[in-house]
Amino acid sequence: MVSDLFSTAMREALAAEVCRYRLVIFDWDGTLMDSAARIVACMQGAARELGWPVLDDGTIRNIIGLGLPEAIAELYPDVTRQQQDRLREAYGHQFRLADRVPMPFFPGVVAGIERLRRDGSCRLAVATGKSRRGLDRVFGHEACGTWFAASRTADLTRSKPHPQMLEELLAECDVPAAEAIMIGDTEYDMEMARAIGMDRIAVTYGVHDRRRLERSEPRLLADDFSTLVDWLFALSD
């Protein structure tokens, strides 16, 4: 009987939760999906395919979050536009081959997203350096596209850290920046939110380290996904 009463109380408490924000915007790679190792391997594979210098893991991890053209320009600044296009094609080929094996979400992501959706007081969106085709492919593989009210990709707007994709998401969802929050694992995520005065949460399990993320003054540094979801529902800091 006590156990039943406790379970009922817990369900009622969860049902009464209200998110701090009307719109919660997530980065994808390194924040929701554990994809950094695959991105690194595919970029290195693309370089080998073309006979280019193969860069180390840390150098490639640093550009995760940027749009692909911007990432390639950062990694190989001395190549021509035509050579950049060749690397983009090779990278896409490598990624499609590797994508036959699904990538995992980080621990707590599926349960946390379900909790936010069950709450109903906020909407969810994605702002990612992936391409539209790449994001749609993941949505199809994981049947998770219905989680999100809107999404923006780097090939259809400006790459991070420019805030255009956030501005477009705010306009589409009719939510002011003060009532939205950006969640990501890179300095690029944090800086595009800071540029328009939007609150931000940095997750420390992704590609940029804690010290680098701290410079962007996030509201929270979260070591796991469950922690950030708890904070979104907390009544006070």
Which pLDDT does position 5 carry in this prediction? 45
Last residue of a domain, one of 44, 66, 98: 98
Find the CATH number of the domain harbouring 129. Answer: 3.40.50.1000
- Indicate the SS3 state at residue 176: coil
In terms of phi and psi (left: phi > 0; alpha: psi -120 to 50; beta: otherwise), the region of 56 is beta
Residue with tokens 């320009």: 73
- Indicate the SS3 state at residue 152: strand
Residue 29 appears among annotated catalytic residues: yes
Question: Quick one: 133 and 67 in the same domain?
Answer: no
Residue 33 CA: distances (Å) to CA of 18, 55, 207? 25, 23, 12
- 136-141 contacts at long range (C-beta below 8 A, 24 or more positions apart): 137/99, 138/28, 138/33, 138/103, 141/99, 141/102
Which whole number is the average pLDDT over 197-207? 97
Is the pLDDT confidence value at 154 over 60?
Answer: yes
The parent domain of residue 94 ranges over 36-98
Question: Quick one: 120 and 214 in the same domain?
Answer: yes
Give the pLDDT confidence of 32-81 residue by residue, as tens digits.
Answer: 999 999 999 999 999 999 999 999 999 999 999 999 999 999 999 999 99
- pTM equals 0.88
Q: List the end-to-end C-alpha distance of the chain, in Å, as a whole number.
A: 35
Find the CATH number of the domain harbouring 45. Answer: 1.10.150.240
Which whole number is the average pLDDT over 160-184? 98
Residue 160 CA: distances (Å) to CA of 10, 26, 72, 190? 40, 13, 14, 9
Residue 57 appears among annotated catalytic residues: no
Q: Which amino acid is at 169?
A: L
Question: Quick one: 86 and 162 in the same domain?
Answer: no
Which pLDDT does position 120 carry in this prediction? 86
Kindly name the residue from 29, 185, 189, 199 that is annotated as catalytic: 29
Q: How many domains does the chain have?
A: 2
Strand locations in 57-119 (E): none
Is the pLDDT confidence value at 3 over 50?
Answer: no
Q: 82, 55, 188: which is closest to 200 by C-alpha?
A: 188
Last residue of a domain, one of 82, 98, 114: 98
Helix (H), strand (E) counts: the chain: 11, 6
Question: What's the CA angle centered on 145, arms 223 and 15, to 5 degrees?
Answer: 65
Average pLDDT, the chain: 91
Kindly name the residue from 4, 27, 85, 99 that is annotated as catalytic: 27
Which pLDDT does position 164 carry in this prediction? 98
Is the pLDDT confidence value at 7 over 70?
Answer: no
Q: Please, are residues 220 and 236 in contact by the beta-carbon 8 Å criterion?
A: no
Last residue of a domain, one of 59, 75, 98: 98
Q: Specify if 41 maps to a domain.
A: yes
Q: Specify if 11 maps to a domain.
A: no
Question: Quick one: 57 and 133 in the same domain?
Answer: no
| Chain centre distance of CA 23 | 15
Which pLDDT does position 13 carry in this prediction? 46
Give the pLDDT confidence of 88-141 residue by residue, as tens digits.
Answer: 999 999 988 887 777 899 999 999 999 999 988 899 999 999 999 989 989 987
Could you give the CA distance from residue 229 to residue 117 in angstroms, rounded to a whole number? Answer: 11
